[in-house]
Amino acid sequence: MRVTIFGATGLLGKALMREWQGDELNGLGSRDVDIRSEEQVRASILHRPDWVILAAAYTDVDGCETNRELAFDVNRRGAVNVVRAAAEVNARVIFLSTDYVFDGIKNRPYEIDDPLAPQSVYGQTKAAAEVEIRKILPEVCILRTSWVFGVGGKCFPETILTLANTRKELDVVNDQRGCPTYTIDLARIIIQLCRKGAHGTVHATNSGECTWFDFAREIVNSARLETQVRPTTSDQFVRPAKRPAYSVLSPASLQRYALVVPTWQDALQRYLAERGSL
């Protein structure tokens, strides 16, 4: 199987390149191809891959609020360019989307067919991309995930560990609930979905749910740090982009492919071991 990965130098892309064995991989970073350019995208898949993994995106959620045009150029137009080029060479596609396409007002896990109602520019770009690429390639696999963390780039655990090394106390919001997702586990899911010929929408996260406060406290305790983690509310930490209060994704769509994912606590232990923090 021939696989092209857009976003191969990003947090998830690095995990995909490391975990994927037994197939022919072509990993492309932003220096290799600008997905906003139709010509560059087309030229990058002339070898006619069987699968295209679109993990490239502008993921700075707050940055998207102040760079709206750039966010839509990369996340919507770039996605359209990749999917259109893939369709021209009969390649299958997995597109990475986000829990931020939902409004966060539910109190039970979001299902794949719940209505899209993004509250941030980042969520709007991803929701718009979902709509557009389905028109081009109805068999596309849209993979929504959330709270992604891993070694090799900026992520929540990395931030908490860095701050905990210099502060005795940390205030972390306790009124936003979601599902942490380890890049290694997400990469393994993507590999299996390709091999199973996945299509349609799939929600994929580590199992279990928590608040950012719960997550931070587990990080600090697992790393055996002395920092005290204290709960606070979102209105005490106003940020440019609105975050959903509740964005837990239902595992039902993933279970249909007979895929079982470890808990986020288990994933955190492996992340800390990989990082050398245990």
pLDDT tens track for 98-156 = 999 999 999 999 999 999 999 999 999 999 999 999 999 999 999 999 999 999 999 99
pLDDT exceeds cutoff 90 at 35: yes
pLDDT exceeds cutoff 80 at 278: no
- Specify whether 58 is catalytic: no
- pLDDT for the residue numbered 10: 96
Taking the domains of the chain in order of start, what are their residue ranges? Answer: 2-151+182-207+247-261
Torsions phi, psi of 125, nearest 5?
Answer: -65, -40
Q: Which of 58, 100, 122, 246 is catalytic?
A: 122
pLDDT exceeds cutoff 90 at 69: yes
pLDDT tens track for 156-215 = 999 999 999 999 999 999 999 999 999 999 999 999 999 999 999 999 999 999 999 999
Query: Is domain 2-151+182-207+247-261 given the CATH code 3.40.50.720 in the classification?
Result: yes
| 264 exposure class (CB count in 10 Å sphere: 0-12, 13-18, 19+) | buried
The pLDDT mean for the chain works out to: 97
CA distance 231 to 233: 7
- pLDDT for the residue numbered 238: 86
